[in-house]
Amino acid sequence: MSVLDKATQHFRAKLDGSLTKFRVDEWETDIYFYPTTPLKDEASILKLQTEGKTVEALVQSLIVKCRNADGSKMFTQADRVTLMNEVDPKVLIRIAGEVNGVDTESIEDLEKN
């Protein structure tokens, strides 16, 4: 087995039924996410971050990472404007912290700047 085969096998194993769940009481729902994300999805988030679009990057991370119990995406790109303008930012920040494995206080500090 080649190194590339081993690397792809390792990545697939991380995505194989290993959804993490957490509760969002305000929305009366559970949100699921995988422990890792394909690089193409991470690239869309990193691009926004390097452009200084922190809020857009945070919302993009929710769009690509938040899942339903069956593993399907919870949000679509069409939900971007609604998420950015009509949803409680504190809840979004907390969710982003969960799915990105980041301390939510550091995200809140970024929002203040």
The answer to whether 62 and 99 have CB atoms below 8 angstroms apart is yes
Q: Is the pLDDT of residue 111 over 70?
A: no
Of 76, 54, 56, 53, give the one whose Cα is nearest residue 66: 76
Q: What would the pLDDT profile of 42-96 be if each residue is shown by its tens digit?
A: 999 999 999 999 999 999 999 999 999 998 999 999 999 999 999 999 999 999 9
Place of tokens 């190194």: 3
DSSP-assigned beta bridge partners for residue 30: 23
Q: What would the pLDDT profile of 7-54 be if each residue is shown by its tens digit?
A: 888 887 777 768 899 999 999 999 999 888 888 889 999 999 999 999
The answer to whether 24 and 16 have CB atoms below 8 angstroms apart is no
Most confident among 27-31, 35-39, 97-101, 106-110 (mean pLDDT):
27-31
Nearest-5° angle of CA 76, CA 79, CA 84? 135
What CA dihedral angle connects 50, 55, 56 and 62, to 10 degrees? 110
More confident residue, 108 or 48: 48
Q: What is the pLDDT of residue 101?
A: 85
